[in-house]
Structure 1
């Protein structure tokens, strides 16, 4: 949709070479030179200073007029790209790159099902996903390494904004032979007696657990934290190996419950719920593939 002469001009300005611009655009070098000459005639000003070269080599620099036009040409190209994305969205024909970030529990247990269905509906989206704890994903969004994140705890930053995706519950799990498994429910004070497996610092899951326990009158210093682990799967494996007890997302334990390798235990008066949330750079709106994915994920989450 961009004016072709401006596209050629931007390519020459980017490469500072007619020859290299021709290679990038898959045109002949004379064709590139002709497009630039025509644009100069239309603008009424020279856009490049060819110096002592013949105009076909690499010894060129932008003139003052060229620098001014380049600024506007770049803005125009960005505007037309945005228009193209908006038009594609109206036609439900979403294309382009989608860079997602997801905290570890979501990346492992929630996202795969959603992504498979999303790519079947939007096959022209090129998707990449990075994972890490909530703190790492918030940082990636703030630094624009990913366009959209999904996190499982508070973002703890002011340069990003969050939007609820779906609610999740965290539950206490123990090994089948643990005394609490037979009891079925325990008082909150009982938590101080058992070796506890926790997620690492910076994890959204850990923040949520800490806040809930503190609200129930059990600060972290009263617990016997024997191990800090970097994933939900590691906590489940540790509980199965009878290394301790731990809090994990209910969405992560379906397989282990079916196999009978863990049990859930109710802590009287303690309910740990949290939001899985979308996270974007503050001041930005969801458009194109990002907007399509948010809509799709919201629908999938509430349906499932």
Structure 2
């Protein structure tokens, strides 16, 4: 018998999950099949790797020695698939992913068309929802992975940056700020604001930069808080206030001459978009190819 990656993956998952039943659920295997593969691995090394008890699984000294190597093999396999995704051309399959509101409505539509032309046999099922729902669907294996606007800190998840974005000042097309040479935060703070609701990723980025620049967010005259970027855009277009959101969400309105995108000279509202997926599950090569495409093709 030869040592194989599949068995190391199973061993790592059992050790991480703490039980055969939890590992079986994460790996979409039966519990007897997981047990059989662990026994085969123990036979290969001629040593017990796990101490089985009624309450939990503990690692033997041999198991503790093997665990970091199993983890490294998993990481190396992910890196291998990511590297080889540059050379794949004849791919097929169905990707099920979730995306938060801004990414799903304004970012992905710009890249799904070019991706579909390059990989016509990969179909994508996209669900747009909040980060909590995305995490729940990944944990229940309804989604392969998700794209969110902030890193996710969950013991069962891997969170990796895949794209960069920068929020900009958005004003009505004929706003006084459009004819001002260099715009400072002090200039912006003089006007009423229309903002996303508290807790949204967009607003968190904006408020963090304001505080970094010594401006308390409460100082802004906030005339309206809205639950979607679309509603914020409509309110700004109607002249109710100005806002700071992703320029990717207003490209259509900007092209029509309805809204203007402006830089604030003494502030940068940069952020990253993240992919999230289960630690215990290797993404299919089609998913790695899609994420590589996003990293290389996306421009804010």
Aligned to 1:218: 215
Task: Give 5+ residue unaligned stretches, structure 1.
Answer: 1-68, 77-85
Deviation at 1:174, TM superposition (A): 1.0
The one of 140, 143, 148 equivalent to 1:146 is 143
Compared CA separation, residues 255 and 279, structure 1 to 2 (3 A): same
Deviation at 1:272, TM superposition (A): 0.9
Q: What is the DSSP-based 3-state SS (H/G/I as helix, E as strand, rest coil) of the residue aligned with 1:193?
A: coil
The one of 152, 158, 163 equivalent to 1:161 is 158
Deviation at 1:242, TM superposition (A): 0.6
Aligned to 1:301: 298
Deviation at 1:198, TM superposition (A): 1.6
Q: How does 1:259-278 map to 2 (within 5 A)?
A: 259-278=256-275
Deviation at 1:298, TM superposition (A): 2.3
Deviation at 1:136, TM superposition (A): 4.2
The one of 233, 238, 261 equivalent to 2:235 is 238
Q: Deviations over 1:209-249 (max 9, x none)?
A: 12111111122222222222233222221111011111111
Measured in 2, the distance between the counterparts of 1:127 and 1:244 equals 37
Measured in 2, the distance between the counterparts of 1:217 and 1:145 equals 43
Question: TM-score, with normalisation over the residues of structure 1?
Answer: 0.63
Deviation at 1:130, TM superposition (A): 0.8
Q: Deviations over 1:186-218 (max 9, x none)?
A: 332344432212222342212211211111112
Measured in 2, the distance between the counterparts of 1:129 and 1:277 equals 16
Q: How does 1:43-82 map to 2 (within 5 A)?
A: 71-72=32-33
Compared CA separation, residues 131 and 197, structure 1 to 2 (3 A): same
Measured in 1, the distance between the counterparts of 2:175 and 2:31 equals 70
Aligned to 1:94: 91
Q: Deviations over 1:78-99 (max 9, x none)?
A: xxxxxxxx9xx89754343311
Question: TM-score, with normalisation over the residues of structure 2?
Answer: 0.64
Measured in 2, the distance between the counterparts of 1:220 and 1:203 equals 14
Q: How does 1:7-18 map to 2 (within 5 A)?
A: none
Measured in 2, the distance between the counterparts of 1:128 and 1:282 equals 22
Deviation at 1:108, TM superposition (A): 1.8
Aligned to 1:182: 179
Compared CA separation, residues 278 and 201, structure 1 to 2 (3 A): same
The one of 245, 268, 272 equivalent to 1:248 is 245
Measured in 1, the distance between the counterparts of 2:282 and 2:175 equals 49
Q: What is the DSSP-based 3-state SS (H/G/I as helix, E as strand, rest coil) of the residue aligned with 2:298?
A: helix
Q: What is the DSSP-based 3-state SS (H/G/I as helix, E as strand, rest coil) of the residue aligned with 1:186?
A: coil
C-alpha RMSD of the superposition:
3.2
